[in-house]
């Protein structure tokens, strides 16, 4: 574990600039970057752990705040000697403040994810996602952090009629999770206006890829389908399967975070992060079957409360503000996600500890 970061108030001193090369979406990008000290909340989670790896690859000093309630320590095992881990709750301002002290950037990925979970327990979802986000913003303001990049969600749109989703259209979340993410967005915008704390909120659309857990009762659809198809069982489809989603590979989301951290003129903005293409759940199941070369069996079940019918994004604002461009196709992403998930499954079966 590296030495603790300095506790004194952060002074914005730029280090000598140097080149780094990192892989995003399977492509190498050479970028000029000044080494900075960053905090990733929820850094042991699916997206957070992928972001931590990318930040280390570009040479940053990385601290992680996580309580490991939904994040997995295995996601950080290979990185443990290169990061500082602060174990604690987003709901504790003191713990959050200690984690924020001395950093220049905060990537706020920490949350209680899942629409079904929020329907089951809206109180805890709100406490973590709303109060926790407010704690992060307050601590960032108090410690003179340069910018906070906030992980929001396409759930904020709900079942608004217009497709594709654009940032300036009416938001109408129908789940407690969507409400919590919209609240976090509005706090970010308010802090950028009232306190001059730079913030950027990224609305993620159905992210999938390595380090995603297929075993949770609230598991996302892609890892759950991959695991079930591999085991020869039927995939559960809620509704008739014609509902559409914009499935986005995690390396594209990581790249969006890196761009959002430094984009000029982006403070106070809310931006869709997706591929700009839609795929039905039926077609997703078929594509996973083709990827694994296994016949698909589908089990149709009633729609679950709180879930939206269709969701896909217009990403013009992300292109304009951030220079974002998705690099990984759905087909390539499914192949990479399946390879990683099955590799981890085999390794775990050999050594469950």
Which positions are annotated as active-site residues? 177
Phi and psi angles of residue 100, each rounded to the nearest 5 degrees, phi first:
-80, -25
Distance in angstroms (rounded) separating the CA atoms of residues 125 and 183:
12
Distance in angstroms (rounded) separating the CA atoms of residues 214 and 195:
40
Report the candidate in 22, 156, 161, 44 with the shortest Cα–Cα distance to residue 111.
44
Distance in angstroms (rounded) separating the CA atoms of residues 75 and 63:
14
Cis peptide before 164 (omega within 30 of 0): yes
Beta bridge partners of 310: 244
Contacts of residue 286, defined as CB under 8 A and 6 or more positions apart, other chains included, come to 296
Element (H, E) at 249: strand 248-249
Place of tokens 């896909």: 312
Distance in angstroms (rounded) separating the CA atoms of residues 105 and 34:
12
Distance in angstroms (rounded) separating the CA atoms of residues 285 and 295:
10
Distance in angstroms (rounded) separating the CA atoms of residues 332 and 344:
18
Structure tokens at 217: 């009762």
Phi and psi angles of residue 166, each rounded to the nearest 5 degrees, phi first:
-120, 150
Beta carbons of 196 and 176 less than 8 angstroms apart? no
């Amino acid at each position: 574990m590296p030495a603790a970061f300095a506790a004194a108030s952060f002074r914005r001193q730029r280090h000598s600039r140097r080149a780094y090369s990192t892989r995003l979406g399977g492509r190498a990008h050479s970028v000029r970057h000044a080494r900075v000290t960053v905090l990733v909340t929820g850094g042991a989670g699916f997206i957070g752990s992928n972001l931590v790896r990318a930040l280390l690859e570009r040479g940053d000093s990385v601290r992680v705040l996580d309580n490991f309630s939904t994040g997995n320590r295995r996601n950080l095992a290979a990185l443990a000697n290169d990061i500082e881990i602060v174990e604690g709750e987003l709901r504790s301002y003191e713990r959050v403040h200690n984690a924020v002290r001395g950093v220049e950037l905060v990537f706020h990925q920490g949350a209680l994810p899942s629409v079904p979970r929020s329907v089951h327990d809206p109180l805890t979802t709100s406490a973590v996602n709303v109060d926790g986000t407010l704690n992060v913003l307050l601590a960032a303001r108090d410690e003179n952090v340069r910018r906070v990049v906030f992980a929001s969600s396409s759930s904020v749109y709900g079942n608004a009629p217009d497709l594709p989703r654009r940032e300036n259209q009416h938001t109408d979340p129908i789940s407690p999770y969507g409400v919590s993410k919209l609240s976090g967005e509005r706090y970010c915008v308010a802090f950028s206006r009232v306190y001059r704390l730079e913030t950027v909120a990224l609305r993620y659309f159905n992210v999938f890829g390595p380090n995603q857990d297929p075993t949770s009762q609230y598991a996302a659809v892609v890892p759950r389908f991959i695991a079930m198809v591999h085991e020869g069982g039927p995939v559960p489809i809620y509704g008739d399967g014609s509902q559409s989603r914009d499935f986005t590979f995690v390396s594209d989301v990581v790249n969006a975070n890196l761009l959002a951290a430094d984009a000029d003129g982006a403070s106070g903005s809310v931006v869709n992060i997706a591929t700009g293409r839609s795929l039905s759940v039926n077609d997703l199941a078929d594509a996973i079957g083709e990827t694994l070369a296994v016949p698909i069996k589908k089990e149709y079940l009633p729609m679950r409360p709180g879930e939206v019918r269709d969701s896909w994004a217009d990403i013009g604002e992300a292109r304009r503000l951030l220079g974002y461009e998705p690099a990984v196709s759905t087909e390539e992403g499914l192949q990479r996600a399946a390879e990683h998930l099955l590799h981890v499954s085999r390794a775990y079966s050999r050594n469950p500890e």
